[in-house]
């Protein structure tokens, strides 16, 4: 691996999550980007190639830069979210390689909430695009989840254009694009003019990842890496309140937490509060940029961090807890009102319905305690009577109650901590935004 340039911390940090159906080529593309940007050298890549050949998996060798455990390499499926980084002259990019299999969607959600940009990888190969996009495939769910957790821009990377069934065919590219665009606009909510960009590529050969390819004369836009450099600054001001949702924690000669700094700035030696338990005053002993694990003394919004904390035990922290400054604590509670859209549910939903709530990095059991009103999707007009039930494709305002106290904010005040998804029986059934926090009765 190549060491991080000393000026990396001064560049804008952008987190890019690769999402899409299983076998679309996400890990291969991410691995090839690391090679093209010098993060994996020729010798390491040759070693991956030899080992992959031994396992009769020669075409998967590039994915091994991120799929590092043996189960992932044997099956060719990403299970854990792969983490890596690369540099350009303009920016520092954190790569998040999300699992594509529907069994590992919960692993994908928390990590996608760390991302600024999503790269939705689509296979152009005959039959594979259709399998991934139609009902049962993960293309649609991944796109919806990316939007719901706050990804601001989506790049649709139509991969495997070099496949013999495609051979850089413009008509096939347009066919995939024409099916995806209405879905991303109407169902998911991305703005086609500002938020969506399509491009063809080959993850296996690296065509159109860093340099244009002569095989594709009809595409005149920028390749992936140069295009990423053109995107506007995503990150919030340093002046905001400190908000760092905890993604993971462990003990290694002290209490270690991982997460993305959503707002404010953090310095080594700073004292912070761990919410929702406001009694815990913690001190930041050490601060590292992730995933390169480079020590720093100061962090700004958008940076993925590892912190060593003093004043709290690892067993006292759960994913979804928030680091805040004492002057501006995040809100915590169990009950809140929200506007939700029912995406997929065969039967009706009534008060008393239980699901699993995913909000920022927090996962918690939740119950719909009241249906307050229906909301017209087009006019946003609210019904005057309380509905007895809601069903698929309807929007409504509901009251929700979690099993435990969680950290959250209204969507208006802090979007990244005020948007959520509801899942049940392995499916994403609804998405929503927090409208009002309801005080608990004594």
Which of 201, 230, 259 marks a domain boundary? 230
Give the Cα separation of 350 and 6 in Å (integer). 56
Structure tokens at 231: 């995107």
Q: Are residues 249 and 314 in the same domain?
A: yes
Q: Which helix (H) or strand (E) holds 129?
A: helix 128-133
Q: Residue 62: pLDDT above 50?
A: yes
Residue 349 resides in a domain: yes
Same domain, residue pair 212 and 266? no
Number of domains the chain contains:
3
The verdict on 209 and 312 lying in the same domain is: no
Q: What are the phi and psi torsion angles at 367 (to 5°)? A: -125, 135
For residue 236, tell me if it sits in a domain. no
Q: What pLDDT, on the 0 to 100 scale, is given for residue 69?
A: 46
**In this structure, is residue 423 part of a structural domain?**
yes
How crowded is residue 292: how many other Cβ atoms within 10 Å of its Cβ? Answer: 20
Q: Do 182 and 289 have their domain in common? A: no
User: pLDDT per residue over 101-137, tens digit each?
Assistant: 666 577 678 777 888 999 999 999 988 998 888 866 7
Say whether pLDDT at 100 is over 60: no
Are 153 and 265 contained in the same domain? no
> How far is 121 from 305, CA to CA, in rounded Å?
26
Domain-located, residue 212: yes
Residues 181 and 142 both lie in one domain = yes
- With b for 16 or more beta-carbon neighbours within 10 A and e for fewer, the 249-262 pattern comes to beeeeebbbbbbbb
* Domain of 170, in residue numbers: 8-230
Task: Give the tokens for residue 412.
Answer: 């208006």
Range 403-423 average pLDDT: 94
Are residues 367 and 223 located together in one domain of the fold? no
Q: What angle do CA 422, 302, 23 make, to 5 degrees?
A: 55
State the CATH number of the domain containing residue 157.
Answer: 3.40.50.300
Domain finish residue from 180, 202, 230: 230
Cβ proximity of 84 and 16 under 8 Å: no
d(CA 141, CA 159): 19
Q: Does 72 have pLDDT greater than 60? A: no
So what's the pLDDT on residue 5? 40
Is the residue at 315 inside a domain? Answer: yes
Residue 119 contacts residue 16 (beta carbons within 8 Å): yes
Answer yes or no: do 285 and 424 share one domain. no
Residue 238 lies in a domain: no
Question: Does residue 136 sit within a domain?
Answer: yes
In the predicted structure, residue 442 carries a pLDDT above the cut 80:
no
In the block, which residue shows the tokens 């009902």?
135
Which whole number is the average pLDDT over 174-181? 95
Q: Where is the domain boundary, 324, 341, 359? A: 324
Mean pLDDT, rounded, for 84-97: 87
User: What contacts 414, CB < 8 A, 6 or more positions away?
Assistant: 243, 263, 330
Question: What is the predicted pLDDT for the residue at 75?
Answer: 45
Same domain, yes or no: 317 and 344 = no
CATH number at residue 394: 2.40.30.10
70-85 average pLDDT score: 53
Using CB atoms within 10 Å of the CB of residue 415, give its burial: 0 to 12 exposed, 13 to 18 middle, 19+ buried: middle
Q: By mean pLDDT, which of 26-35, 301-310, 375-384 is the weakest?
A: 26-35
pLDDT of residue 79: 43
Residue entry with tokens 């929007």 = 395
> Which of 27-36, 180-189, 373-382, 387-396 is predicted with the least confidence, judged by mean pLDDT?
27-36
Same domain, 19 and 116: yes
Same domain, 313 and 344: no
Mean pLDDT of 153-173: 96
| Domain identity same for 47 and 70 | yes
- The mean-pLDDT minimum among 48-62, 118-132, 247-261, 305-319 falls in 48-62
Tokens of 377: 């999707």
Residue at 419 is within a domain: yes
- Average pLDDT rounded to a whole number, residues 77-83: 52
Regarding predicted confidence, which is higher, 61 or 404? 404
């Amino acid at each position: 691996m190549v060491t991080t340039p000393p000026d990396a911390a001064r560049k804008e940090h952008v987190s890019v999550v690769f999402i899409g159906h299983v076998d679309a080529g996400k890990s291969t593309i991410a691995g090839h980007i690391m090679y093209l940007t010098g993060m994996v050298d020729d010798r390491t890549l040759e070693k991956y190639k030899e080992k992959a050949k031994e396992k009769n998996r020669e075409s998967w060798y590039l994915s091994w830069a991120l799929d590092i455990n043996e189960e992932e390499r044997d099956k060719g499926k990403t299970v854990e979210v792969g983490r890596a980084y690369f540099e350009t002259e303009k920016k520092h990019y954190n790569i998040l390689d999300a699992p594509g299999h529907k069994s590992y969607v919960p692993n994908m959600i928390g990590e996608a909430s760390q991302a600024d940009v999503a790269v939705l990888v689509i296979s152009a190969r005959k039959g594979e695009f259709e399998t991934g996009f139609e009902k049962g495939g993960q293309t649609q769910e991944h796109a919806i989840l990316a939007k719901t957790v706050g990804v601001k821009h989506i790049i649709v990377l139509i991969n495997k254009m070099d496949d013999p069934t495609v051979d850089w065919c413009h008509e096939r590219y347009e066919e995939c694009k024409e099916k995806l665009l209405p879905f991303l606009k109407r169902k998911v909510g991305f703005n086609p003019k500002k938020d969506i960009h399509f491009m063809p590529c080959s993850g296996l050969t690296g065509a159109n990842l860093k340099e244009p390819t002569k095989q594709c004369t009809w595409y005149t836009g920028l390749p992936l890496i140069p295009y990423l450099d053109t995107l506007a600054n995503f990150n919030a001001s340093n002046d905001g309140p400190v908000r760092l949702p905890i993604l993971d924690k462990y003990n290694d000669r002290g209490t270690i937490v991982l997460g993305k700094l959503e707002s404010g700035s953090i310095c080594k030696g700073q004292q912070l509060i761990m919410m929702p338990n406001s009694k815990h005053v913690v001190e930041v002993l050490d601060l590292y940029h992730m995933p390169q694990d480079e020590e720093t003394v100061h962090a700004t919004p958008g940076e993925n961090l590892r912190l060593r904390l003093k004043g709290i035990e690892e067993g006292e922290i759960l994913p979804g807890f928030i680091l805040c400054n004492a002057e501006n604590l995040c809100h915590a509670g169990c009950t809140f009102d929200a506007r939700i859209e029912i995406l997929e549910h065969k039967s009706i939903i009534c008060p008393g319905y239980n699901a699993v709530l995913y909000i920022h990095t927090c996962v918690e059991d939740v119950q719909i305690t009241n249906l307050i009103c229906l909301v017209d999707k087009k006019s946003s007009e609210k019904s005057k009577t309380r509905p007895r039930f809601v069903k698929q494709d309807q929007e409504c305002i509901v009251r929700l109650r979690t099993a435990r106290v969680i950290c959250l904010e209204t969507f208006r005040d802090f979007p990244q901590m005020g948007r959520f998804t509801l899942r049940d029986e392995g499916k994403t059934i609804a998405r929503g935004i927090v409208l009002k926090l309801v005080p608990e009765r004594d």
